[in-house]
Amino acid sequence: MEEHLPAGADHPDADPLDERTDHYGRLYTPWRMEYIRDPGRSEEGCPFCVDADSFDDSRVLHRGQTAFVILNAYPYNPGHVMVIPYTHTDDYTTLSAAETQEIADLTQRVIRAMAATVSPHGVNVGMNLGTVAGAGIADHLHQHVVPRWGGDTNFMPVIGQTRVLPQLMRDTYDLLKPALEAQMP
């Protein structure tokens, strides 16, 4: 028996909750709403504003003068790190020259450490400035450095709310930390 769609089913404003009138495939990721809806984060509640000495040493790869390098607690890939200034700001233009320089320097050193240890095929480097730009923690800017390999993407995070990581965080730490520290003056 052929199903007859209501008039206007092809209209772009078709009801997305009515699969009879919605012709778009949608993948919902409701767990991301906690990042979008949390405008109440303050400097006191910022996970990056904790004194760097208080961070679990199993994630901190390096503590610099104005910034530090830490393994991302929710990595896209093994070796996903963040370079974070100690200064609590969401505005990149307010960073001092020293902060900007150290973030750039640490990013280069991280990329070299990755090349020497995990041999990525490529690397994503970037900041998401603002919630609408994708920042999960928008109040405190941070630079992501993500090693990439051909074929490293899949639908598990979207469909199964699961991320498949082929390496334990401790093993990643044990590879990257000595390689990064070896580059420090």
Catalytic residue set: 142
Residues present in the chain in total:
185
Judge contact between 139 and 43, C-beta under 8 A: yes
C-alpha span between 185 and 183 (Å, rounded): 6
Residue appearing with tokens 């990595």: 75
Judge contact between 58 and 70, C-beta under 8 A: no
Tokens of 40: 């109440």
DSSP codes of every residue in 84-138: EESS--S-GGGS-HHHHHHHHHHHHHHHHHHHHHT--SEEEEE---SGGGT-SST
All residues at 6 or more sequence positions from 114 whose CB lies less than 8 Å from its CB, including other chains = 79, 120, 123, 145, 147, 176
Judge contact between 154 and 162, C-beta under 8 A: no
